[in-house]
């Protein structure tokens, strides 16, 4: 079982729609969860962090965490073509190592104008 799993996509949504990205993780001891956006050929950019169960909103982005079910999701409202990128889920504290930061393989999002 992979430590952090994401659907590779591509996930295609029309402009203005809500994009929903999902991630599951295997280590129940993980404490910190992150979403990064990566444009082709560029380095990842942090867009959201979440540490406790529930929802966290920042502009058009909402991160959701459910530790009991071991999943974290990212919602992007009013999707724009500029949101087209690969979204990487990352989990910290894997295997009891506080600073070990593990990434999923990423979901490619395509927003159609």
Contact residues for other proteins (CB under 8 A)? 6, 31-32, 34, 42-46, 49, 51, 88, 90, 92-93, 97-106
Q: Is the dihedral of CA 19, 3, 50, 65 positive or negative?
A: positive
Which residue, chain included where needed, has tokens 């001891």?
29
What is the smallest separation between the CB atom of 62 and other proteins, expressed in angstroms? 18
Which residue, chain included where needed, has tokens 């993980």?
30
What is the smallest separation between the CB atom of 41 and other proteins, expressed in angstroms? 8
How is residue 95 annotated by DSSP?
Answer: G
What is the smallest separation between the CB atom of 51 and other proteins, expressed in angstroms? 5
H-run or E-run covering 78:
none
In the complex with other proteins, the residue whose CB is nearer, 16 or 39, is: 39
In the complex with other proteins, the residue whose CB is nearer, 54 or 113, is: 54
Find out whether 7 and 108 touch, Cβ atoms under 8 Å: no
Q: How far apart are the first and last CA of the chain?
A: 37
In the complex with other proteins, the residue whose CB is nearer, 74 or 90, is: 90
What is the smallest separation between the CB atom of 57 and other proteins, expressed in angstroms? 17
């Amino acid at each position: 079982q992979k430590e952090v799993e994401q659907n590779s996509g591509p996930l295609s949504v029309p402009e203005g729609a809500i994009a929903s990205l999902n991630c599951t993780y295997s280590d129940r001891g993980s404490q910190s969860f992150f979403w990064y956006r990566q444009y082709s050929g560029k380095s990842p950019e942090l867009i959201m962090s979440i540490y406790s169960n529930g929802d966290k909103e920042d502009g058009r982005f909402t991160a959701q965490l459910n530790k009991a079910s071991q999943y974290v999701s990212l919602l992007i409202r009013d999707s724009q073509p500029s949101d087209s990128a690969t979204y990487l889920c990352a989990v910290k504290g894997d295997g009891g190592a506080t600073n070990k930061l593990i990434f999923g393989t990423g979901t490619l999002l395509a927003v159609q104008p």
